[in-house]
Structures are given as C-alpha cells and as structure tokens.
Structure 1
Amino acid sequence: MTRRRLLGTAALTAAAAVAAGCDSSSGGGGAGGSGAAGSLSWWDHQNQLEPAKRAIFESFEATEGGVPVEYTYNNPAKLGQALQLAKQSNQLPDIHSNAGLEVPVPQLIAGGWVGPLSLDDAAMQRLEGALVEGKHVFDGAAHSFPIFDHHVYPTVTWFNTTLTGQAGLDPEAPPRSYEEFRAAARKVQDASGGKAGGWIWNIGMPNRLNEQVNVLAQAAGFEGGGGRLYRTGEFAYHDESYLTVIEFLLSMQQDGLLVPGSQTLIDDGARTRWVGGLAGYYFDGPWCPGVALKNTPEFAESLGVGPILTPDGGEPTTYRGTQGGEYWLTPTTEMGEQANRLLSEYFTTEDYSVEIANTMSQPPRDLEAVERSNAHPAYKKLITWFADQVFLAPEPIVKNSETTNVGAESKAVKPSLGDIVQGAFSGDVPDVRAALTELSDKANAEHERALAAAKDKGAQIDAADYVFENWQPKADFGPDQY
C-alpha cells in the first residue's frame, strides 16, 4: 500500500522555544486570552477527528503538568474568517489549522499568525523524512508537521447503496466513466419516484470546487497540478481536460440530474442532504464517512464508494505533492511549553495514525495503520485505490526552497477556477473556454510578477525552478529526480 515517500531535508534543527507572554493584554492562557486562564485553546476544521482529539485532550490534562484544552470546530469555509477576526482582536487560539486563510506560510510567519515549534527529540525522530523545507520547516525551524499521507484526492464518488439498490445498480460495480455516472444517476432519480435526485454537490464552496475540478482534470489527462503543467511550468487552465470536466459537470445540471439548490450548498449541507436520501451520488473526499457517520451511524449500512471518474472509465491517474502541515502554533501564546508537549507526545505518534484511520479522515501519514483500524470497509477499499491512483508530484518548493518567497509575493488571481465553475452553474459565466483562457493568462502574468518581485528582494530563484522536463506520467517524482 505504500510508494516511495519523498525524503525531507536531512538533519533538521530543532526549533527555538516559543516566546511566552508577548501579549501584555492577555488575561490568561492563550494568545490574547482566547481561552480560559491556564488552558490551551485549539481551533481547526477537522470535524471528523474531534472524538480522537478530545480523548487525547482528556489524557493530556490528566498527566503531570497537563492542562485543559478548549477545542473549537469551524467549518472549512468559515475558519479563515474566524481566524482573521481573532487576529484583529488579538484573540488567536494557541494552536490552529490554517484552512481558509489562503496565504502562503511565509506571509503567515511574517504577520505573526504562526511561529516555530519546539518538538522533543522523540517526536523529531518519528518525523524523520516527513518534514520538507518550505512546507514544514522555515529558516531551519519546524513550524508544523504532516499528519496525513499524500495518497489522496478530494473527488471520490460516494453513493447511497439503498437508493442505488432500488434502481437495480450493483454496489460492487460503481460508475467509472462520465456516461456510466450519468446513466446511474438517472436510474436512481427515476426509481425514487421524484423523492431523490441523481447527484448533489457543494457548488456554493468555490475553494472546494477548485480542489475537486483540478483533480478531475488530472484524471481526464491534464499533465500537471493546480492548473500548472509539470513539464513547462506554465498555467494552462484552458487545456481540453478542464473543458471536458466542466462540460460534463454542467451537463448533469442541464439533464436535470443535479439536486436543485446545490448551487448554494457548502459541503456540510450537501453531505447532510445526501445522507438524508435526497441524492444517490455525492462527490467528496475520503473524510466523507467520518463526518457522515458521526451523527448518523446507521448510514453505515448504505455507504458505497467508487473511485474518481474519468471520461472513458479507465484507471484514474492523479498527482499530489507532499502533505503540508496541519497544526500551527500562535507565536504570542503563553502556553508554548504545554502546546509543544501536547503536539510532541500525542500528535506525532503511530497511535494517532490509527486514530485518524478510525475516524476515516484523510489517509494517515502511516498508511499501514488503516488496516489496523476499525474503519468502514468502503474507506479501507478507497485507501487501497489511492495507493495505486495517486502519484507523487514534482514540487518547486522541494527543488528550491527559496520559491517560498514567490508564494509570499503572490496575490490571488480572481476569478479563480472555483469562481468560474460556480459562475458556469449559475449562468454568470456563459463562455467557460474564454474564462479559463483568461485565468491562464492572469495566472501566468501574476507568477511572472511575483517571481520578479522575489528576485528583486534577493531570492535565489529562477523560472526554471518550476520546470520539470524529466517528469513522466503514472510515476512518482522521487528525490533523485530533482
């Protein structure tokens, strides 16, 4: 179930201890008093991992020197705004994830959002080979670490086996091509007598659309990631693979197979309606069962899974870079010692990988932990598909860690891919090809501008850092290929 993992930078230096008490206005534990006195505050977007984390927090509090942890879950679409408001009022939590901020980590560091960790030696040993300069390590100091594996994609074909069974569809033979999916969705809709639609989606969530359409384009033949071609380093959102994907998605709406109201739904709402029997199919990531079964465990009997769709139903091929960090420390925290001990002793361990698999989140950093877990059979099946269908992508940041300076100079290009897809469904973007071509032009121009700005400030970088002429499809891009 494993492929070669990308080796991180060797001989990583342990980070300096986090400075304590930088916020004189704080009345207690937490950055700016976001938590109760003497407690750690923790915000993230991982709903499905909450049970595992709460168990850890209770265990940590019971240890010598442990403290209570105040945990707050935020939907991925809302966490970024919540963090921005907390930053403005000097109330950032001690530990947080960065979902929704859409800002390169170097900018977050410079802006005082995140600071270096001080993990113990045992934790650093467990993380050996998993930390990458420019993703987890900055100026020689670890700022975060991966808890997930890179073998993953966010556009899994989940389905309700009760509805598909009523339509006479075999749960062991899920649709794999666009036409098979269209036909299956129509059968489900017709068999329901109008009580259920064929397909539901989170179209009200442009960031998620961006992720899902990018990987659908890979499965449709795009030889790059995030709109950028691996071999040339150029953005090419106007590639035929993107047009093929978007035209297919729009055709589902045009054929009346999309649940009405999907245009405004975010993932939580779409997923809840799907579990409630309002649709046969739903595109989501591997975390879907972990979230869905948390509140409706009885749905486990109706949970079915298929791989990401391809235009012709062939074996999917997707690409993904090394997994980024998940948990970040606020530099103004007054609980730095406790926070680092909590992260070191609990969240870098093999046991936590098993707990991640138990909660059916993204695949854990240790993929072999999945088989030792009590995860749903559909989830375990999906992880075996991931191992064969996801290949390690080349990354400019691994080729030259100073490319982080380009990210720090970059500005978001609007409208984004997700905005364009959303606009296509609403009718606000009538010419998708033209919109994608304009996005490619804007993305290339912004990259050139940011690259020049970073070079002017002394970064040792070049356009060639984004070019991987030796990249080959259906293969991992290992450390020996840089």
Structure 2
Amino acid sequence: MTKGSTMSRSTTASAAGTISRRRLIGAAFATAGGTVAAPWLTGCTGSQEPGQGVASGGGETTGAVTWWDQFRPLTTLFEEELFAPFTAAHPGVTVERREMDGPSMGQALQLGRRSNQLPDVHSLAGLDGSPASLVGAGWFQPIDEFVDVEGSPVGELLLDGIHRFDGRVYTVPVFSSRWHDAIPWLNTELCERADVDPETSPGSWDAFRAALQQLRGAGGDDVHPMVIGAKDPSYLASLLNRLAQTAGAAGAVDPRTGEYAYASEPYLQAMEWLLSLQTDGLLHPSSASMDTRDARARWAAGEAAVYPWGPWFIGGLKVQEPEAVERGVGVWHIPTVDGSDPVLYSEPPGGTFWVSSQAQRAQLGAELMLRLVDPEFQRSLASAMDQPPVLTEVVADAEVHPTYRTNVEYMAADVRMAPVPQVRNPAVSAVLAEMGEVTPGLGQIVQAALTDGSSDWRSALTTFAEQMTAERERAIESVAGDGAEVGVEDWRFEDWTPGEDHQQ
C-alpha cells in the first residue's frame, strides 16, 4: 500500500457497518477458508455460478465503471495509462474515479454500503479490519469468474487467506512488499559539503552516528543531521520496528515462539539508539511537531541531511518539491547494530483493489483491475516512484530516477518474506479482527520517550507486550467460542529460517 493513504490497524467493528463484531468474526471464519488484449484478461462469465453478493449488473459491458482510491500522486498515471487505454478498447465504457484521503474514504465506503451505493472497484483505505474479515462480512465478490487471474503475471503470487478465500480469488497484488519505511534518504548536497560519501552506506549504528555527527552544521546552524516525523505515532512505531529488526528481531511477533517481542533485547537496543541520537543533538529539534509530510518539506527545504522514510519518498518529492530532486537525493542501506548486512521482514503483498459486492459492472471492474498487473502498466507504475510494483523486474528499464532504482535494488537485497499466520490458518484473521486497540501503543510509547526524559519506556514496552498478549488470548477465546480452531501455536513457525524467505 502506498503512502498516498493511511493504513488503519485498530478495531474492526466499524468495518462491518451495522454488522456486530461477533457476526463479523463468524462470517470471516466461515468464508476465509498496458496491452489491450492480454490473454489472461479474457472473461469467462456465463457458465459459472456468481459469487456471493454479486450485483445483478455484474455482466454489463457498457456504462460507467466507478472506482474509488486514495492514490493522489498516481492520478495522472491512472487516467492516462490505465483508464484511457481501457475505455479505448471498450466502446461505450467510461471510468468515474473518486480520489479521497484515507479517513474520508473509509466514511464514504461505510455510507455507500449502507445505502447500496458502493463503487464497482475500491481500495481498503479507511476501513478497519483484515481483508478476510471484510470478505466474510460480504464487502466483496470474487473476480476469478470474470478474468483469468491464475494465468495472469501474478498468478504464482496468489495466497490463501490474502488473495484467495474459500477457493475463490478476490484480489491481486499490485505493489511489491520488498520494501521498508526506514530508508535513509540523503540530501547529497549537504553530504558533499560535510565530506560524507552518499554512495557508501555506513554499515553499523556507530558508523551511522559518526556520519550524522559529521553532517552537523553542514549548511549552518539551521541545518540538522536528521529529521523524523515524530508527531505521527504510526511513523514512530514503524521506525522502531525496523530498527529492532536491524538488531536481530524478526518483527513484532517472534515466529520462533509466537510471543510479542516488544520487550525483547532488540527493541530495547533500538529504542536506546534512537533516543541517543536525540540526546546527541543529531535530530531536528522540531521533529516532535512534524508529521511525515512536514518532515519531508523541511528536508526538501534543506533543513536536514537525512530522513528515514519509505520508497515513495522520492516520488512525493518529484510531485511536491521537484527542486529537491534536482539538487540531489541519495540513499543508503539501513544500518545494523553490528554492521552486518541488513535483514528485514515484510509480509507477502496483499490485494490493493477489490470488486464490491454491490458492483453494477463487476466484470468490467475486474477486467480494469487486472490491467494493473500488466507488465506495461507495471513499468509505468514504477515511473511514479512510489511503492515498487509487484513485478519488480520492470524497474530495471523503467523511467525512474537512478536513486530510486538503486533503492529498489537495496530493498530486494535487504527484505525477506515473513511467515503469515492467517495463510496457514484462516481463522487467525478472525482473531486479528476481534482484537481491540491497546493504548498506549508502540508509537505513543516512542513519542513519549522522545518528548519526556523521565518516561519509563522500558516498563511501558513490557506492559504493552503483556497487554497485547492478553488481548490476543481474549480474542482467541472469543473466536474459538464461535467454533474456530485457533490458538497461540498458529503464530509459531518451527520451519521458519531467519534470514530467508518463508515459503508460505
């Protein structure tokens, strides 16, 4: 998912509209089990039974396909490279796109569902809950009766519990998940002034700190070594998670034990190191008042040399602050605690767009949606320099900034696929849907530590891990009461090998 949107990870009761949490969980468990004429776009309707909730207009081949998303930076790309070729190949068809920010879109989707006015195709921006819980609550319909998904370029990437539910395909991955959101982006002009090599990544935390110290004052007293969006708790949570992984953590949950790892040594080390950068005066003093866009704007204005953020950073600069790209932008590998090669973990890519169960033109919506994974469109998608396309090989000859291409290569080397409990046991999705928000969360704990020197963040991390454990146990008991077979053991993976892609 790109950062033109906001990904919500709180409670899921609202995702079902008027459906109760328990009914939503029960339904989730019951259900969760370019080129104009690419052959895999051929529809196969007519002989199969329609999926549950398919609108009567699913087979219409003319009219307006309604499409809602939150990807503002991709507006021109969608209009020129996706919609225009599609409508040219389908006389009598138009595409009506509505772009909103995440929270607004979530509200619009809820209202649309209650009034039976959902669009034909939409993303999940602003909706709480796992895709499996939304499928179970009847939000979407399968697309495999309209298009040959299995024979498409992403056919081998489809996974049960992520794209396929109860044997039916509902969505496709559009973006790669070999990325992380703590990439050190560089102002190369400031690096050169400070005699810091932007082409050579400082391998260890100590080497990274030394580089920041060398960058201090590279452009005067108003220029700082590094800026972070510390006003945004979700940014801080992601940053700490990634830093902990560079110290040896596998993620928030340790696949070897199934236990929450927030109080483990890697997380403690990561927090200590982040706080030490502030203590040493290496962070922009206004970081606490900046969200991610504010921090990017300050970085673009030359107030900081380094900004840890996601792969979409340079694409956002190109649209909003192109002069910063012209001035010079570089990238490093994320440093590790001991200087060894980074090993970070991400889940396999999920679905970005879904065909609504209320779609009036489901077939057209599915055909349009599948064009997102056409290699030619994927190459155009890469040119937006946002989250890398799922067909990452197209980046090699796409029209992108050399730094973006370098970063995609770095992430391909650094990121591994983590095990996903809900792929092995779809009932895990029901547990995740049932789990409520625990506060203060990880990002809020980091935020408090950065703004309050007396914060007992070590105890807070321990308490958070304990509360998450207790909430998961409560959710497991609740879901099991609805007949699901699920337990803590579903989060344990004895066959998981650190440093390698997990074969789902």
Q: Provide the TM-score with structure 1 as the length reference.
A: 0.85
Deviations 1:255-300 (A, max 9, x none): 2222233223222221122112111100111111111112333433
Is 1:326 the counterpart of 2:352? The answer is: yes
- For residue 287 of structure 2, what is the aligned residue in structure 1? 262
- Distance in 1 separating the partners of 2:55 and 2:206: 59
How is 1:143-162 mapped onto 2 (pairs within 5 angstroms)? Answer: 143-162=170-189
Q: What CA distance in whole angstroms lies between the structure 2 residues aligned with 1:119 and 1:208?
A: 39
Q: Tell me which of 199, 204, 223 is aligned to 1:196.
A: 223
Amino acid at match of 2:465: S
| 1:32 match | none
Native 8 Å contact 1:44 1:72 kept in 2: yes
How big is the alpha-carbon RMSD for the aligned residues of Structure 1 and Structure 2? 2.7
Q: Do the aligned partners of residues 119 and 212 (structure 1) sit closer, same or farther apart at CA in structure 2, a change above 3 Å counting?
A: farther
Aligned partner of 2:379 in structure 1 is: 354
Partner of 2:103: 80
Query: Match for 2:356: what amino acid?
Result: T
Equivalent position to 2:241, from 201, 214, 218? 214
Q: 1:51 aligns with which of 76, 79, 82?
A: 76
- Unpaired stretches in structure 1, ≥5 consecutive residues: 1-8, 23-28, 30-37
1:98-137 Cα offsets, whole Å, 9 max, x none, are: 2443412233335554444356444431132221111122
- Residue 450 of structure 1 aligns to a residue whose secondary structure is helix
How far apart, CA to CA, are the structure 1 residues paired with 2:204 and 2:104?
A: 38
Question: Which residue of structure 1 aligns with residue 96 of structure 2?
Answer: 69
Residues 450-472 of structure 1: CA distance to partner in whole angstroms, max 9, x if unpaired? 11222211112233221112322
| Residue aligned with 2:203, SS | coil
Asked if 2 retains the 8 angstrom alpha-carbon contact of 1:48 and 1:287, the reply is: no
2:472 corresponds, among 447, 450, 455, to 447
Matched, 1:165 2:188: no
Counterpart in 2 of 1:303?
329
Q: 1:339 aligns with which of 348, 361, 365?
A: 365
Q: Show CA shifts across 1:328-347 (max 9, x none).
A: 23333334333222113x21
Task: Tell me the equivalent position of 1:96.
Answer: 122
The 5 Å alignment of 1:287-298 reads: 287-298=312-323
Provide the secondary structure at the position in 1 that maps to 2:157.
Answer: coil
Match of residue 35 from structure 1: none
Q: 1:356 Cα deviation (Å)?
A: 2.2
Where does residue 424 of structure 2 map in the other structure? 399
> Take 2:451 and 2:140, find their aligned partners in 1: how far apart are those partners?
37
- Given the superposition, is the C-alpha separation of residues 461 and 267 from structure 1 closer, same or farther in structure 2, using an over 3 Å criterion? same
Pairing partner for 2:496 from 452, 464, 471: 471
Change (3 A) 1:92 1:274: farther
Is contact 1:290–1:361 with CA below 8 Å preserved after alignment?
Answer: yes
Conserved in 2, the CA contact under 8 Å of 1:14 and 1:142? no
Cα gap change, 1:14/1:142 in structure 2, threshold over 3 Å: closer, same or farther? farther
With over 3 angstroms needed to count, the CA separation of the structure-2 counterparts of 1:330 and 1:204, relative to structure 1, is farther
- Give per-residue Cα distances to partners, 1:128-182, cap 9 Å, x unaligned: 2221111122223322211122322111010110111111111112333323333
Q: SS at the partner of 1:229?
A: coil
Residues 318 and 390 in structure 1, CA contact (< 8 A), matched pair in contact too: yes
- Identical-residue share of aligned pairs (%): 33
SS at match of 1:383: helix
Q: CA deviation at 1:438?
A: 0.6
Confirm or deny that 1:371 pairs with 2:396.
yes
Correspondent of 1:458 among 483, 490, 494: 483
Asked whether the equivalents of residues 186 and 257 of structure 1 are also in contact (C-alpha less than 8 Å), the reply is yes
Take 2:95 and 2:105, find their aligned partners in 1: how far apart are those partners? Answer: 22
* 5+ long unaligned stretches in structure 2: 1-32, 34-47
2:311 pairs with one of 283, 286, 289: 286
Give 3-state SS (helix, strand or coil) of 1:198's partner.
strand
CA distance in 2, matches of 1:258, 1:141: 49
What is the total number of aligned residue pairs between the two structures?
448
| Deviation digits for residues 162-219 of structure 1 (CA, Å, limit 9, x no counterpart) | 1111111111123333233333333333121113221111222222322232122111
